[in-house]
Structure 1
Amino acid sequence: MEDITVQEGQSRVQAGALLVDVREPNEFEEVHAEGATLIPLSEFEARFSELPKDRELVMICRSGARSARAGEYLKAQGYSQVVNVAGGTLAWVEAGLPTGSAQ
């Protein structure tokens, strides 16, 4: 699966990709990339079908490891447009990109 920079992730989301955060709810509440949809890895196998197959999915977690696992799982389920944000939310925040608080 392709790893992309946080800047590339943001531009793909602005172009219509869906940003999927696979961290747990308490992590998401602390800080998350603006516009991210939360589907925790602990619930991922039960909920992945909520994600559209006709839209690019940009996967993100804290540092990039969990989102890579989730992305590989999606690929195995027939999703073709899946990329992973290298460095995850830590890198997103460090780069000064927009964040949100709990919705």
Structure 2
Amino acid sequence: MKEITFNNFYQLYQKESLSVLDVREVEEFEALHLEGARNFPLSQLADTYEQLDKTQPYYVICKYGIRSAHACQFLTEKGYDVINVPAGVDAFE
């Protein structure tokens, strides 16, 4: 699984337009999220992942990195290019 540290991710995020998937639940996402991030809750990912574009990379975040790791594993198996951000939104707070 590809990973990037939160600091490296955040530096890229500030300079480039990245496709960020936040796999926290809707309530968590609404309380705090990175601008431009799309909410794809892990609990619903099996039903919604086909909305994603297989031709672009996605940076996957959650609160601590556990759910994002699960989401990355799932999406990788489905043929998506994903990069896990292990520290997640917790590092941003």
Structure-1-length-normalised TM-score: 0.81
Structure 1 runs not aligned, ≥5 long: 94-103
What's the Cα RMSD here?
1.5
* 1:54 partner amino acid: T
What stretches of structure 1 move > 6 A for 4+ residues in a row? none
Are the equivalent residues in 1 in contact too, given 2:4–2:85 (CA < 8 A)? yes
Structure 2 runs not aligned, ≥5 long: none
Q: Residue deviations 1:2-53, cap 9 Å, x none?
A: 2211232231584343100000011011111221100111110000011111
1:62 alignment counterpart: 63
Aligned length: 92
1:76 alignment counterpart: 77
1:45 alignment counterpart: 46
Identity score, percent: 37
Structure-2-length-normalised TM-score: 0.88
Structure 2 counterparts to residues 5-24 of structure 1, below 5 A: 5-10=5-10, 11=12, 14-24=15-25
Higher RCO (C-alpha under 8 Å, 6+ residues apart): 1
Check 1:77–1:13 CA distance in 2 against 1; reply closer, same or farther (3 A cut).
farther
Are the equivalent residues in 1 in contact too, given 2:68–2:86 (CA < 8 A)? no
